[in-house]
Structure 1
Amino acid sequence: MAALGRGWAVLVMPALLLACGGERQVSIQFAAQVRGEPLRCDATYEKIGASGTTLQLLDFKAYVRSVALVRENGDRYPLLLEQDGRWQRETVVMRKGRRYRETIAMLDFEDGTGTCNTGSPEIRTEVVGLVPDFDDYTGVEFTLGVPPELNHKNVEWVEPPLNVPSMWWSLTNGYRFLRLDVRAGGNRPYVFHLRADGCTGTPDIGVNCSAENQSTLFLKGFVPGQSRVVFDVAALFAQTDFESSADGMTDPVAGCLSSADDPECASLLPQVGLGRGPIAPGGADAFIRVE
């Protein structure tokens, strides 16, 4: 029923706009931070994680889909996205024999300077679209991820914003929904890649995954034009011991690649709404919250 409700809400949005007597354009602002400071490619951050390690940014991008505003009474209104041909778009997918409209946008927090030397100068920190012109929006909702029907297409044949090679993970024939690459302690790469797990198959014959690893996040206290969604890297890594990560044998990669048996994912996945843990999105000290 949840999927049916979501699809219906998107399909009737034009009628809702007419019924309520107007619409307005909103910009959902996102920001990357470290303890209240902007996350920059030309900065070094001290005393991060359980090991009190220095940290530098290498790359930070994310896909968000099904972005919606939520009124005080709980009614949810998906954004009709501005079709800009690069950062965000609307598409139609087939799901259980029915057509659904899906929206997807890409966020890019690195500007190609400093330690982000494999990136590009362009950044994107907003999702822009139309909603009914109500004045009592008090929450925002979105999913970190790519619609499953689009997650395993050949990256060479897709439209923006899915045509970004650095967000493609060839081992699972799918996308990284969130890619955060850092350098810890001066020279040790450490990654957090949110993606589907346990995937078999290929795009031409079909891919099946045991865990899609996508969760819908609802954040209270969001007022359009006044609030923004913050990704706080210091909060994400608060329990991470960078000094002991990746022993090269049982855990060959320093970081979390969204595998259920990766010990380094235990403190990271709950902060994007997956797994179990004491910290969840939306809290005052959470990785993803409203400010």
Structure 2
Amino acid sequence: MLLVSCNQADIFNNTLIVNFKPKYQQQELTCDSHITQTNKLWQINQFQFYISDVSLMADNQWHSAKFVTSAATQNSTERVALLGGVCPQPFNWQVTLQSTVPATGIKQIRFSLGVPFDLNHQNPMTQPSPLNQPDMFWTWQLGHKFMRLELTTSQQDWIFHLGSTGCQSASSMRAPSTQCKHPNLVDITLENFQADKTIQVDLFQLIRSIDFLDEPACQSEQHSALCQKLFSRLGIDAKQQLFSVSQ
């Protein structure tokens, strides 16, 4: 049994660094970027999202991968990583993976945007970082905010919080025992991905043509027209538009 356990551990001996690059209208997105929307200039206050359960395609089959955890950054567990950040602090747009396949053989990557159900509704005070970040958590009943995007001007804010809804439990302080009616956990598959490629995060594709003044907030309400528009662009019951592989 000990020999089998050691062999299982040793198969994750290939390391791959994956870089994400946020952009808006072909320009790199930073805290200093100006986003023109509804005839106003907006800036990022916070842009963060969880990814989880990564797999890599090689030899025409999917191979599971796990995140390399770091005491210095504390931005991942083996299954979940938090990307982005809160202005004006530096953002994290890089994850390190360990997998069973050499980086040179990788052809595709897939991951979930969000936190898996079995981790989503646990006590955040006892969860390891980054699942213990208070502003990325709603309640035990609803779980984590999978994505938190907040833009601001000197006079107003625009917010989008993605997470599960329709979660049933005895109270907001109790975790549900069954899957939420609207999990809003998005599976992302990116073809033509290789070890030297970057995953682009195109914010323009998510928020284009949205009137921030008439539609100032989405908290993942199922009947919100704004939320449905954002859900569709993220890939919920539609083809996702936020992520792509650099050419």
TM-score norm. by structure 2 comes to: 0.85
Q: 1:29 maps to which residue? A: 19
Q: Could you tell me whether the CA contact under 8 Å between 2:50 and 2:82 is conserved in 1?
A: yes
Q: Secondary structure at the match of 1:260?
A: coil
Q: CA deviation at 1:24?
A: 2.5
Q: Which residue of 2 aligns with 1:216?
A: 187
The alignment of Structure 1 onto Structure 2 pairs a total of residues equal to: 237
* Partner residue in 2 for 1:228: 198
2:158 aligned with 1:195, yes or no? Answer: no
Q: Distance in 2 between matches of 1:265 and 1:28?
A: 29
Runs (4+) off by over 4 Å: 14-18, 202-205
| Segment of structure 1 superposing worse, 22-31 or 58-67 | 22-31
Distance 1:243 1:138, change over 3 A: same
Q: Which amino acid aligns with 1:89?
A: T
Q: Secondary structure at the match of 2:232?
A: helix
Written as runs of structure 1 = structure 2, the 5 A alignment for 1:135-214 is 135-170=104-139, 172-183=141-152, 187-201=155-169, 202=171, 205-207=174-176, 209-214=180-185
Aligned match of 2:81 in 96, 105, 108?
105
Deviation at 1:272, TM superposition (A): 1.7
Q: Contact 2:139/2:173 (CA < 8 Å) preserved in 1?
A: no
Gaps of at least 5 residues in structure 1 are 1-11, 91-102, 114-120, 246-253
Output the CA distance in 2 between the equivalents of 1:30 and 1:141: 14
Q: Which residue of 2 aligns with 1:100?
A: none
CA distance in 1, matches of 2:224, 2:173: 29
Aligned to 1:259: 221
Q: 1:45: how far off?
A: 2.2
Q: How does 1:32-51 map to 2 (within 5 A)?
A: 32-46=22-36, 48=37, 51=38
RMSD across aligned positions (CA): 2.6
Partner Cα separation in structure 2 for residue 59 and residue 141 of structure 1: 25
TM-score (norm 1): 0.73
Q: Distance in 2 between matches of 1:187 and 1:122?
A: 24
Deviations 1:262-287 (A, max 9, x none): 110122111221034xxx22xxxx32
Unaligned runs of 5+ in 2: none
